[in-house]
Amino acid sequence: MSNSRRKFIKDFSIISSGIIASSVLYAHEDHFHGLPESTNTATPEVIGHGDFKYKVHADWGKLDAKQYPIINCHAMVQTKDGNLHALCDGIRNNFLVYDKDGKLLRSWGTEFTGAHGLEVFEENGKEYFIVVDGGWAVRNDKGRASREQGRVVKISTDGKLIFSIGHPVTVGAYEAGWRFQPCDAAVAKNGDIYIADGYGSNWVLQYNKLGQFIRKFGGNTDPDTNARLKSSHGISIDYRDPENPKLVVSSRSENKLKVFTMDGKFLHNIEVPGAYLGQAVFHGDYAYAGVCWSKDKGTGKRLSNSGFVTILDKNNKVISNPGGSEPKYENDKLVPIYQTTKTFRHVHDVCVAKDGSIFALQWNSGGAYPIKLEKI
C-alpha cells in the first residue's frame, strides 16, 4: 500500500473529530435488500403532461456493466463545462462523468460506499462538490448494505479533499447515541452548508463555509411540531424570489416538502399526496423531484418497484408527473398522484440540465444507469 493511500485511510478514520484537512481522494434507502432479478425496460415514447412532456432515452447513460458496474445511481449534477457527474454507491465507480450526449469521460472513486447526495457550488470562481455518504455501506457487488456512520465531505471536482464534517456529537449538536446518517446537503450563496440527516436523527444541521456548526432544526423532537421531519431525505434552496430565499426539505414519509427560512423557522408545507419524494431541484420557475415510491391508486398502499418524476410550478402546484398520473386539484387540494407507466423504479433524484432535459437516477433498479428525459 502506498504512503499516500495510507494517509487517506488515516484521514478518513478520524471522521468524528469535526473538520479534517487532507490531500487527495483516490480517483438508502430504508436499506438495500439486494439487486432485483430483472430491470424493467419497457418505456413509453413520451411521458408527462401539458407543456412538460418528455421523450424517454432509456439507453442514454448505459455502459458495459462488466467494465463499469454500479449498484445504485443516487444523484447527478452538471458542472459549468456541461459535463454530468453521476454519484453511485458501492466499492467502485462512485463517480461516472458523462458529456451532454451520454459519452463516458471518466469514472473514479471507491471511498463512498454509501454515496447518496451530491451538490455542486462555486466558491471564488472555482467549483466544488459536497458529497454525502449516507452510511448504508455497500461493500461488495451483491448490493447488500450494512448500517454505518455517515459522513459529509467537501471536495474539488477533481477529487481533492478539502474538509470533512464529523459526527454532530463532537460539536454538542447531538446527544450520545443519536445516529448520524445524512441523506443530502445544500450550499447557500454565503457558503453555509445545510445537511439533512434523513437516515439518522432527522435534523437539518447548518454549518458555515468552514464547516463550523451554527444550528439545527426540524428533527424528531423539534419544539415546533410543524417543523418536525420524517425521513428528511432531500434538501435544497429556493432562489425563485431572490430577495427571500427559502430552504426546502423533503419529509418523504409524510409525502411533503417543508419550507423553512434560512435560519430554520418553519413556514409551510407543500403537500404532494401519494408521492414519496426526495430533493426538490429548482430550474427557472419550476421545481422537479424524483418520486422513490408511488402509492396504489385504490388502496393508498406504498408500492414496491414504483416511482416517477413530479414537476411543480412557481406557485408550488404540481403540473406534470412524467411516469405518473395527470395532476388534478379539487378544492385547491392535489388529488393523490400515482405511477401509471413502468418507465422507472424508485426515482431517487433528478438532475435538470441547462437545456431543460431531466436525468432520472434510480435506486434498487438492477444497476440502472441514468435515464434522460428530453423535453418536447
Helix, strand or coil, per DSSP, at residue 311: strand
Torsion, Cα of 218, 224, 226, 230 (10° steps) = 30
* CA angle, 316 then 350 then 309, to 5°: 60
Q: Which pLDDT score, from 0 to 100, does residue 142 have?
A: 82
DSSP 175-205: -TT------EEEE-TT--EEEE-TTTT--EE
Residues in the chain with pLDDT values less than 70: 1-44
For the chain, domain boundaries = 36-70+282-376
Alpha carbon distance 160, 229 (integer Å): 33
124-147 CB burial, b ≥16 within 10 A, e <16 = eeeebbbbbbbbbbbeeeebbbee
Q: What are phi and psi of 10, to 5 degrees?
A: -60, -45
pLDDT by residue (tens digit) across 39-75?
444 544 799 999 999 999 999 999 999 999 999 999 9
DSSP state of 325: P
128, 156, 242, 333 from 123: Cα distances, Å: 7, 10, 19, 41
pTM for this predicted structure: 0.89
Q: Which pLDDT score, from 0 to 100, does residue 27 have?
A: 38
**Residue 137 in contact with residue 151, Cβ under 8 Å?**
no
